[in-house]
Structure 1
Amino acid sequence: MPAAEEVDGDVFVSPVYLAGSTYTGDPALVPLLEAGFHSLDDDLANIYLSSPDQRIRVGWLPEGEDDCLWRITGHEQPFAPPRWLATFDHYTPVEVVAAFTTALAEDHAHGSNTSVHGHLRGAKAEPLLPLAEAGWRVDHGPHLSVSQPPDRLALVTRINGRLDHHEEISDQRSKWTVSGGASGYSSEWLGTFTTNTPAHLITATMNRLADPAPVARYKDHLPERNRAASRITPVKPPAPSPLDIQRAAVARSRSTVAKTVIPSPALVYRTTTPLPSAATARLR
């Protein structure tokens, strides 16, 4: 887990597919920006990224026309129609999206074109392998392959037949769907990948989906329907540094030093003051 002072949240939550959205795009956008992607934004705060060769395009669309927050496409040429499309809705945990975009960024950082030309032929089962290794159930049917974790609160499906490319690119159908969370508004999320989405990008996403490592969230922001099935632990405060310990010791020592009590002037007896005359007479 990251150090407490670096955590943006007050609890850790696992599994990631129950953690809900943080409604921020930074963890998924930063890897692309660091890989040299160009960035533009519009008046509505939507952000558009493109690879230096203009063949990968990423949209973070909080003010988009539908519930699709992330739209990512790969193109054979800058002006060619999309070869593949990946989408994630508003409620998808950003860590799941970041797994996809980080793999995409690594391709471009190393000068690889597999994120454009990659395909699933000859590697159909590869994206499902991390799920099987993590104990998810994987069923291969003649028309549909399905994978679910033991709690049955996430679902990955792959259509085994051929799909119409135009229907996929127009987001009418998808080769792959991945979802998580209890059924209901804001607790359930959805991602999709079309047929030609590179297998290694899908596999990177499945790796994070199956990873039990917790993610940071603010407890009050967790989807209510997902809490009972989630493992939630509080973020421990950071351990004090040697300087903190020294300062505390000095503060304690100062608090125990006795303070000098200065008598009130009303309590000070002036022994040199002459006695009143009446008192002097009685003493004679």
Structure 2
Amino acid sequence: MPANDNTIDGDVYVSPRHLARATAIGDPGLDPLRDLGWELHHDDLGNAYLNAPDRKVRLGYLPEGDDDGLWRINAYKDPFGPPVWGACFNDSCPTEFVTAFTTALADVYEQGPDSYLATPVSGSKDRDPFLAVAPLINRGWLIDRPRWGVFAIQSPDGLAGLEYTTGDLDPERELTTRDARWQLWAGTSISRPLWYATASTDTPVALLKAVTESVSDPAPLPRWRDDTYSYAEGMAQLTPIVPPRPPAPTPLDVQRAAARRPAALTTSSVPRWSTTSRPALPGPRR
């Protein structure tokens, strides 16, 4: 359980985190790239677009898009050519997973095209696709029933999975449909998931690994109970977020408080009367 924080946005923790849903705002997913000075534009519908300075990486945050692909990120060798790789997170995908992707993207973009256009290579020390799966295996995810042409792995509760499709794929369909090389999802069915994310064949392994590390992180996510899906609420563990206690005063705080008190209140005095006082002694007889 994470430590209480005054900035926590929610009244419950959702565990496991893959049963949470998206947050109401997308700023956390945009911030890592905006911090690099990427150019931000909006259209008349309220969609947001981020462009890298060299115009070779673009992000679209599309609440008013044509489908449920809320986040679309593409990279290019030529700004006017087809994308080299593309990733998509749908409108229910937890925003923290998108933020993990864009944070890693900011890192590799700073390193240059050799990093943000790094094609996965089997057997490579730092570009082998298996490196993106390793965080899941290390945290107890299990290899699913083998299927022809698909490597699948599931979370311990069986309510999240990752699929890696082998063989040749249509590059255009990878960018526009769920028929992509990588698909990560949660729910009771991959055909009707709680949320999903996809990535095309040449998506850099460093970006994929950042997402799988975030998805498999054992720490729960804060959410508002009213925003949780009804069926997810029955499967997920919801723990109330206890309001943080005020911090205990330090010796310096006590000293400063004493210095602010009026002098009359800091001197000791004897109460004139109390319910525990002894009865007054009788006076002299006349």
CA positional deviation for 1:183: 4.9
Q: Could you say which residue in structure 2 is the equivalent of 1:281? A: none
Deviations 1:127-169 (A, max 9, x none): 1111111100125655110010121101110111121223323
Distance 2:192 2:48 in 1: 22
Deviations 1:184-233 (A, max 9, x none): 99971111111011111111111111111111100111111111221221
Q: Could you say which residue in structure 1 is the equivalent of 2:21? A: 20
Structure 1 residues 20 and 184, CA gap change in structure 2 (3 angstroms)? farther
Equivalent residue letter for 1:149: S
Say which SS state the counterpart of residue 50 (structure 2) adopts: strand
Q: Could you say which residue in structure 1 is the equivalent of 2:59? A: 58
Deviations 1:81-104 (A, max 9, x none): 101110011111111111111100
Q: Could you say which residue in structure 2 is the equivalent of 1:207? A: 213
Return structure 1 stretches of 4+ with deviation > 6 angstroms. 184-187
Does structure 2 conserve the Cα–Cα contact (< 8 Å) formed by 1:126 and 1:199? Answer: yes
From the CA coordinates, give the structure whose radius of gyration is larger. Answer: 1
Equivalent residue letter for 1:138: I
Q: Could you say which residue in structure 2 is the equivalent of 1:134? A: 139
Say which SS state the counterpart of residue 150 (structure 1) adopts: coil
Distance 1:67 1:205 in 2: 19
Equivalent residue letter for 1:66: D
Equivalent residue letter for 1:29: L
- Structure 1: where are the runs of 5+ without partners? 259-284
Distance 1:142 1:81 in 2: 30
Equivalent residue letter for 1:190: Y
Matched ranges for 1:190-229 at <5 A? 190-229=196-235
Give the TM-score normalised by the residue count of structure 2: 0.80
Report the more deviating stretch, 158-167 or 135-144.
Answer: 135-144
- Identity among equivalent pairs (%): 37
Q: Which of the two has greater helix per residue?
A: 1
Structure 1 residues 120 and 169, CA gap change in structure 2 (3 angstroms)? farther
Structure 1 residues 15 and 22, CA gap change in structure 2 (3 angstroms)? same
CA positional deviation for 1:116: 2.0
Q: Could you say which residue in structure 1 is the equivalent of 2:5? A: 4
Pair 1:174 & 2:180 matched: yes
Distance 2:161 2:112 in 1: 33
Distance 1:224 1:70 in 2: 24
Equivalent residue letter for 1:164: D
Pair 1:231 & 2:253 matched: no
- Count of aligned residue pairs for this structure pair: 250
Say which SS state the counterpart of residue 39 (structure 1) adopts: strand
